[in-house]
Amino acid sequence: MSDRANQKPETGAFFPRDRNWHAPALTPGYKTSVLRSPQKALLSLDGTISEITGPVFGHSMLGELDNDLIHNFAKPGESAIGERIIVHGRVLDERGRAVSGALLEFWQANAGGRYRHKKESYLAALDPNFGGCGRTITDEEGFYSFRTIKPGPYPWPNGVNDWRPAHIHFSVFGHGFAQRLITQMYFEGDPMIWKCPIVNTIADRRAIEQLIAPLDWANTIPMDARAYKFDIILRGRRSTLFENRIEGN
């Protein structure tokens, strides 16, 4: 699992996505999926260069507060209200190799469960010092971290009385466009996780557990912020074994 900073870029195709591990497209308990799910089978395509390549983003694009949601929208000298936490972890691929240079973008509601979005009408108040977005890029060993406040649960119009568990949305770029992933992180011990129709779009309990970040007491900063650890696994890359086709096509 050591990093390989000087290694030449990998060009193997990605491991096939396990579509039984991921949620299916049609999950009627999550009502919006009913009219937004393809009904025809996906067309399978072993990765071509169009999918095994992807954009990369340099650390130079990051602003100083991009990974600090407590302060990146706050007025000078002020900060967001809520439970101060650090979220950190590693981005690895399915072979356990560090994914360096991965762009992570995250967004969330404030401590009361209110998103800063014009379509949001939940009566909980906005926090004038909290925007709700942040981003960072993993280091050479795949590590990332950001600071934020713990989001609150919020109600949503699905069932009559459905509430989302506290969660942070993550968007991840690996090294190839085929690795593109959006997911949600949940918090250890939240009883609402198992009631949520969006969580329950995933059939395999182990796949759900992989989305739940444990409280990380070791990295908690005394008198400052608690820590949660959330590792993210992207699709692995095949070693390019016998893929050169030197004897022709």
Partner 1 sequence: MVQALDYLKETASQTAGPYVHIGLTPNFCGIGGVYDTDLGTTMVSENTLGDRVTVSGRVLDGTGTPLRDALVEIWQADAAGLYNSPSELRGAADPAFSGWGRCPTGGEDGAFLFETIKPGRVPFKDGRPMAPHITFWIVARGINVGLHTRMYFPDEAEANAADPLLLRVEHRHRIATLVATGSAPNYIFDIHLQGEKETVFLDI
What secondary structure does DSSP assign to 152-208, as a single string?
Answer: PPEEESSSTTEEEPSEEEEEEE-SSGGG-EEEEEEETT-TTGGG-TTGGG---HHHH
Give whichever of 171 and 219 is closer to partner 1, judged by the CB atom: 171
State the minimum distance, in angstroms, from the CB of residue 108 to partner 1. Answer: 8
Q: What is the dihedral of CA 86, 181, 206, 2, to 10 degrees?
A: -70
| C-alpha 123: how far from chain center | 27
117 is catalytic: no
Alpha-carbon gap, residue 8 to 228, rounded angstroms: 33
CB distance 138 to 179 below 8 Å: no
By the rule CB under 8 A, 144 interacts with partner 1: no
Binding mask 182-221 for partner 1 (x = CB under 8 A): xxx-------------xx-xx-x-xxx-xx----------
Q: Which residue in the set 2, 5, 6, 43 belongs to the binding site for partner 1 (CB under 8 A)?
A: 43
By the rule CB under 8 A, 1 interacts with partner 1: no
Give whichever of 69 and 85 is closer to partner 1, judged by the CB atom: 69
Kindly give, in sequence order, each residue whose CB lies less than 8 Å from that of residue 112, ignoring residues fewer than 6 positions away: 124, 125, 127, 152
Kindly give, in sequence order, each residue whose CB lies less than 8 Å from that of residue 142, ignoring residues fewer than 6 positions away: 3, 90, 91, 92, 98, 99, 100, 102
Stretch that binds partner 1, among 3-11, 78-86, 138-146, 187-195 (CB under 8 A): 3-11
36 is catalytic: no
Enumerate residues 67-126 that contact partner 1 by CB under 8 A. Answer: 72-73, 92-96, 105-107, 115-120
228 is catalytic: no
State the minimum distance, in angstroms, from the CB of residue 213 to partner 1. Answer: 12
Give whichever of 7 and 161 is closer to partner 1, judged by the CB atom: 7
Alpha-carbon gap, residue 107 to 114, rounded angstroms: 12
Structure tokens, 6:
């000087």
Enumerate residues 159-178 that contact partner 1 by CB under 8 A. Answer: 169, 171, 175-178
State the minimum distance, in angstroms, from the CB of residue 189 to partner 1. Answer: 19
Kindly list the catalytic residues.
115, 154, 164, 167, 169
